[in-house]
């Protein structure tokens, strides 16, 4: 499998407290990769490192086959970027902003840009300073899409947008991806949104990558198990035991990752009874994952 983005052993420090250490990210080509993490976990910093806006202390970054930052201009010409905060010159009108942006991208498609203008109901003569948050979000997405990129890097593109705008933006994005097989790297803390569109997920917390796996594995893989007469030491388990908590009497609650149905046999083998399997939604799974990452309680 080829990767649109490969990050190896990335190390970056900002100030005295924040650090990204030993980061490794692989974004398969043609995938929609959801980059999850709580606020302040380093998602935006990772994206800026990926695009060459920041320089790492150590590590390698390869995007679309090119090394960052050495080949950044060539890579950026094929990458559409929507940053976390609007970054356009607010003194311009929409028409001027389009003209400015188009001047730098040889692959700019004016026809499609005009279509998106109509689709997003934006007026050319509107000043950027007067745009609402939703309109600005749509404009940012328009600029990223109209340059026909191979890779889209979206940093919380729908954050703060109302559901209608969010729908418009995501619809345009999915249309583009379906037609052009582009790779999408989208970061967000809106898990339900990513759940619907992404096929890969990476979770980041406190500058470290917690896990990186296909979305279906992530969704289905984390379960809460009610176990009776659980052994004191679980031994070798076919799943990843994230946490175990005592409940009423001999009943314990185990949080596991990588669960599959045939793994019931393990409990029979250790003399325990599996009373209940509780499916966690993505948000609950994400929370559990972070909780156990921050405070491992195996054997407690």
Partner 1 sequence: MFRQLLYTQWKWSRLVLLIICLASFALPLLSVQGVRPDDLGRFDIEQMLAGIQTWGLLYPILAAAAALILAMTTWGPDHRGKHIYALSLPIPRWHYALLRFGAGCVLLAAPVVAVWLGALVASAATRLPAGLEAYPTILAMRFALAALVAYAAFFAISAGTNRTAGIVLGVIGGLVVVQMILLVADTNINLVGPFMLQLFVWPGPLEIFTGRWMLIDV
Least Å distance, CB 68 to partner 1, is 12
Cα-based distances in Å from 267 to 27, 227, 239: 36, 8, 12
Of 38 and 86, nearer to partner 1 (C-beta) is 86
Least Å distance, CB 81 to partner 1, is 5
- Which residues face 214 on adjacent strands? 200
Q: Are 227 and 274 in contact (CB under 8 A)?
A: yes
Burial class (CB in 10 A: 0-12, 13-18, 19+), 20: buried
Q: Are 150 and 79 in contact (CB under 8 A)?
A: yes
Q: Are 37 and 191 in contact (CB under 8 A)?
A: no
Of 36 and 75, nearer to partner 1 (C-beta) is 75
Cα-based distances in Å from 236 to 231, 260, 270: 12, 16, 11
* Binding footprint of partner 1 on the chain (CB under 8 A): 51-53, 73-77, 81, 83, 85, 87-92, 96, 99-100, 103-105
Least Å distance, CB 136 to partner 1, is 13
Least Å distance, CB 288 to partner 1, is 34
Of 40 and 89, nearer to partner 1 (C-beta) is 89
Of 82 and 289, nearer to partner 1 (C-beta) is 82
Of 99 and 278, nearer to partner 1 (C-beta) is 99
Q: Cis omega before residue 168 (within 30°)?
A: no
Least Å distance, CB 75 to partner 1, is 8
């Amino acid at each position: 499998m080829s990767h649109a983005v490969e990050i190896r052993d990335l190390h970056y420090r900002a100030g005295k407290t924040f650090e990204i250490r030993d980061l490794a990210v692989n974004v398969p080509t043609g995938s929609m990769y959801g980059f999850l993490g709580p606020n302040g976990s380093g998602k935006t910093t990772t994206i800026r490192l990926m695009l060459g806006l920041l320089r790492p202390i150590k590590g390698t970054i390869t995007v679309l086959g090119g090394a960052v930052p050495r080949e950044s201009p060539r890579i950026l010409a094929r990458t559409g970027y929507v940053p976390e905060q609007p970054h356009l010159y607010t003194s311009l009108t929409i028409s001027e902003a389009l003209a400015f942006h188009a001047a730098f991208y040889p692959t700019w498609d004016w026809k499609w840009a005009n279509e998106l203008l109509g689709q997003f109901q934006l007026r050319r003569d509107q000043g950027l300073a007067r745009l609402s948050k939703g309109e600005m979000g749509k404009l940012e997405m328009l600029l990223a899409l109209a340059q026909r990129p191979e890779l889209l890097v979206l940093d919380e593109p729908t954050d703060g947008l109302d559901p209608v705008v969010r729908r418009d933006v995501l619809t345009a994005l999915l249309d583009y991806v379906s037609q052009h097989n582009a790779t999408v790297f989208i970061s967000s803390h809106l898990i339900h949104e990513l759940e619907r569109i992404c096929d890969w997920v990476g979770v980041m917390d406190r500058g470290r990558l917690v896990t990186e796996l296909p979305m279906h594995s992530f969704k289905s893989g984390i379960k809460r198990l009610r176990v009776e007469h659980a052994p004191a030491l679980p031994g070798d388990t076919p799943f990843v035991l994230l946490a175990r908590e005592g409940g009423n009497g001999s009943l314990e609650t185990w949080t596991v990752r990588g669960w599959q149905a045939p793994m019931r046999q393990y409990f029979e083998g250790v003399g325990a009874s599996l009373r209940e399997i509780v499916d966690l939604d993505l948000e609950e799974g994400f929370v559990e994952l972070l909780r156990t990452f921050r405070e491992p309680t195996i054997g407690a």
